[in-house]
Structure 1
Amino acid sequence: MGLDTFRHVTTSASAGRTAARDDIERAHLVDPTDRTWSIARAAVSPDLADLARRFWIPVWDVPAGRDSVQRVLQYPVCLIVVSDTYARLYGVVSGLSHTMLTGRGWAVGIMLQPAAGHLLTAEPVRRMTDRHVDLTTVAAVDGAALTQGVRSAMGADPTAPEAQARAREVVEDSLRALLPVDDEGLLVNAIVEDVETSPELLRVDDLCARFDIGERTLQRLLHKRIGLGPKWLIRRRRLQEAADRLRHSGAELAGIAVDLGYADQAHFTRDFRMATGMIPGEFASRFR
């Protein structure tokens, strides 16, 4: 399908959908009682919009003898994360992502666009699913210089807005070498954006129809560019939306299940528990 065609499709399909990018907390299954960390977030520069979504910069101070587990239903994108102890490119996590915070520390992370993983690795991103590599092994960027620049910026005071801004500039300057994003990358960005912002989209064949693309072609495209298939993509969006509704509304579980396209509440409960390790009621009770 041509670039002009999919631009028309995504423009037409966007009418009446939920606002894009109003989803920063949707994936993070945060424990509201955990006060050992904070996260600063920032948009990327406009010229990088096809390549990256946003920055997040966590800073933590966990008392001795304790730990803080961060659980995330990750978005269908790769991540670059630089901390004071490691620098990595992460592939998409198919299940629940766990990060253990201990002691004092910080990290500078950038959530990439679906197009970016293949541009960084020059291979099908399915090879990165559920794994990470050291940033210095990624040939498309100077991982050593990027890491050194971020650590130099953040070293004195990782909570300072000026330090965080300098660190973001280092990351962005490194990524600009990947521009412009190719047409296939723009297409996969548009497909993922459509799934993430269209709660009524529940079937793969409906997604194929929107983009005038065959299911096998779509399957190959998504495995190449994000590492997982269209069924996973739709299921992940539903689970993120479920977590958001459970966090912010008093809706009945049966109603949430119906709205998200589940056959019944039991199917919804099983799917949510398999993905998060908690039943929906247990998760919702943390925010009451």
Structure 2
Amino acid sequence: MKPDKSGSMRLDDVERAHLVDPADASHRIGRWGPNPDLGEMVRRFWVPVWSVSPGAEAPQRVLQYPVCLLVISNTYARFYGVVTGLSETVLTGDGWAVGVMFTPGAGGLLVGDVARWTDRSDELSVVFGEPGANLARSVRAVMERAPEDEDTQRAATDIVENWLRGYLPMDEDGRLINAIVDWVENDSTVVAVAQICERFHVTERSLQRLTRRRLGLTPKWLIQRRRLQEAAERLREPDETLADLAAELSYADEAHFVRDFKAVTGMTPREFSSRFA
């Protein structure tokens, strides 16, 4: 938990985006931040270890943030652009993964024009060539010893950090997009693109070009996604009414809010909320 702008406590930014089923006990996740020199490039590492009964599945659904991801598991190693809808990974059997949640500005350092990767992913060996394949091999060599052990997990993320340092330093456009996204995500009063332009002294056209190139997204998407993530957090509270929540999130009415939430998550707000009753 961490305080929002008003000082009240809110869910960790990953937890509010994860449309978790409270009954799902299939996995454990270790999470930690990067070393300080990578703070402009990496938001956090996450290392899930799972065990799913034979024949069963454990779907993990996430309202992804406007960031690229890198995931190395025991069966695949991929780079992911931003998923504009709902990101879903289905866990089966026994496994593990080492994940990197980048900052918004980091994708451009890694792959150039991030717009080419919107709603796409590919193997590290394809995206980065032999260096990407070597990274996957190195992480697997460490993780296969004892994937559930935190010291092992941190040794694996140390390997990833050393590899990422070759892409530093962050450029000025990257710092700008990091600042823009941080502001939109953490200030619920931001409801219009014009507010972003005024705050950061850019024209709407310049902002559109910047967000497309560095995020593969529109500024409007940033605002909508923040509102839906905030809704997913608030719907876990037992006394939240849809009409009040729609108004506080600056929707025109409850119907618009319900339509947006279901279009992206596949559930109505009440269906999601009922999981936590």
TM range (shorter): over 0.9
The answer as to whether partners of 1:19 and 1:197 remain within 8 angstroms in 2 is no
Q: For residues 18 and 74 of structure 1, do their structure 2 counterparts lie closer, same or farther at Cα, with a shift above 3 Å needed? A: farther
In the alignment, does 2:103 pair up with 1:120? no
In the alignment, does 2:273 pair up with 1:284? yes
SS at match of 2:66: coil
Match of 1:103 among 93, 104, 116: 93
The answer as to whether partners of 1:141 and 1:177 remain within 8 angstroms in 2 is no
- 2-side partners of 1:265 and 1:140: how far apart? 48
Task: Tell me the amino acid that sits aligned with residue 258 of structure 1.
Answer: A
- 2-side partners of 1:82 and 1:263: how far apart? 42
Provide the residue aligned with 2:259 in structure 1.
270
In the alignment, does 2:141 pair up with 1:152? yes
In the alignment, does 2:222 pair up with 1:233? yes
- 2-side partners of 1:155 and 1:63: how far apart? 20
Q: For residues 218 and 21 of structure 1, do their structure 2 counterparts lie closer, same or farther at Cα, with a shift above 3 Å needed? A: farther
% identity of equivalent residues: 53
Aligned-residue offset at 1:254: 0.7
CA RMSD of aligned residues (A): 1.8
**TM-score after normalising by structure 1:** 0.91
Query: Runs of 4 or more off by more than 6 Å in structure 1?
Result: 17-21
Task: Tell me the amino acid that sits aligned with residue 170 of structure 2.
Answer: V
Task: Tell me the amino acid that sits aligned with residue 83 of structure 2.
Answer: V
- 1-side partners of 2:70 and 2:237: how far apart? 29
Task: Tell me the amino acid that sits aligned with residue 156 of structure 2.
Answer: A
Comparing 14-23 and 219-228, the one that deviates more:
14-23
SS at match of 1:199: coil
SS at match of 2:13: coil
The answer as to whether partners of 2:5 and 2:186 remain within 8 angstroms in 1 is no
Q: For residues 262 and 175 of structure 1, do their structure 2 counterparts lie closer, same or farther at Cα, with a shift above 3 Å needed? A: same
Gaps of 5+ in 2: none
**TM-score after normalising by structure 2:** 0.95
SS at match of 1:240: helix
- 1-side partners of 2:225 and 2:122: how far apart? 24
- Across the two proteins, how many residue pairs are aligned to each other? 274
Larger RCO (alpha carbons 8 Å, 6+ apart): 1
Over residues 29-67 of structure 1, what are the superposed CA-to-partner deviations in whole Å (9 max), with x where a residue is unaligned?
011111111211111111111001001111111111110
Task: Tell me the amino acid that sits aligned with residue 42 of structure 2.
Answer: A
